[in-house]
Amino acid sequence: MRIFYDRQKSILNYCRDKVALDLGCAQHRMMGKEVKEENWLHYRIKKVCKTLIGIDYLEDEVDRLNKLGYNVIKGNVVYIHTIKLPKYKYDVVVCGELLEHLSNPGLFLDNIKKIMSKKTLLIITTPNVYSRQRIKLMLTKKYEKDWLNKEHKAWYSYETLKQLLIHHNFLEVEWGYYTPLINQNSDIISKIKKMIKKKINYKYCNYIELEDGLFFVSKVNNET
């Protein structure tokens, strides 16, 4: 178990110079200027990887992205094995902040294996139901119905996501938590102080389990 201090940067490190597939890549109600912002994950993956294919079910956004020079295919990721994908050997499949939106995550995991080779890595990031932020909201009577994303179908903890992946025949490469990105406008001294404080907390306290999200890197278990 480890901590990923920057969710997007950690994903980029896995995608660098690789052939990548980005699932659920469009932003809802995306404006033209937002597509070009560097904090948009699909944009950043495209900058570092060798080849990038995106998939999303939002037809208008898929059309808009393709007009801007991206290569995005319209489709339902749960049934990804039925989508006509370019015949690449994908090194990395990115499933960023998507699993919680799916009504049938088990079927998704079974079908995604059909397009993965024994070397393909599946990256899943998703909110941590036990994050300190969500616990604080619950304790201050901000009940789930008041702060839940209406498009979410489920919440995951480290153990429930771990068991879901194991049950569907995935192996651990790196499993852990991601922490919210430190404010990019902070000066370098402030960033260093925050990083040191976090590391001290993780060394002497069990705070890692209260981090904002889960970051799982898995591969298919080909030995069964």
Check residue 204 and give its pLDDT: 43
Q: How confident is the model at residue 38 (pLDDT cuts 50, 70, 90)?
A: low
Residue 33 pLDDT: 61
Residue 36's H or E segment, with its range, is: none
110, two tokens:
């079974």
- How far does the chain reach from its first CA to its final CA, in angstroms? 24
pLDDT number for residue 194:
60
Question: SS3 helix, strand, coil % of the chain, rounded to 5?
Answer: 40, 20, 35
* Residue 139 within a domain: no
Range of the domain at 91: 2-129+150-185+212-220
- 203 occurs within a structural domain: no
At 21 the three-state DSSP class reads: strand
pLDDT (0 to 100) of residue 137: 82
Query: Given this model, what pLDDT does residue 185 score?
Result: 46
Number of domains, the chain: 1
CA–CA gap between residue 141 and residue 157 (Å, rounded): 21
**In whole angstroms, what is the distance from residue 68 CA to residue 26 CA?**
13
For residue 206, which phi and psi values (nearest 5 degrees)?
A: -90, 45
Q: Is residue 31 part of a domain?
A: yes
Mean pLDDT of the 92-109 span: 97
CATH number at residue 51: 3.40.50.150
Q: Name, in order, each residue with C-beta under 8 angstroms of 55's C-beta and a sequence gap of 6 or more.
A: 21, 22, 23, 24, 25, 72, 73, 74, 75, 77, 80, 83
Task: Give the lowest-confidence range in 20-29, 34-43, 166-175.
Answer: 34-43
Residue 101 lies in a domain: yes
Summary mean pLDDT of the chain: 87
Task: Confirm whether 145 is domain-assigned.
Answer: no
How confident is residue 34, by pLDDT bands cut at 50, 70 and 90?
Answer: low
Question: Is this model's pTM higher than 0.85 or not?
Answer: yes
Beta strands in 26-115 (DSSP E): 51-56, 72-74, 92-96
In a domain, 137, yes or no: no
Q: Look at residue 36 in the predicted model and tell me its pLDDT.
A: 63
Percentage of the chain exceeding pLDDT 90: 63
Q: Which of 18-32, 152-166, 177-191 has the lowest mean pLDDT?
A: 177-191
Q: Is residue 207 part of a domain?
A: no
168-220 confidence digits (pLDDT tens): 999 999 999 998 755 444 556 555 656 655 555 555 445 788 899 999 999 99
171 found inside a domain: yes
Cα distance between residue 149 and residue 155, in whole Å: 11
pLDDT at 116: 97
Residue 150 pLDDT: 80
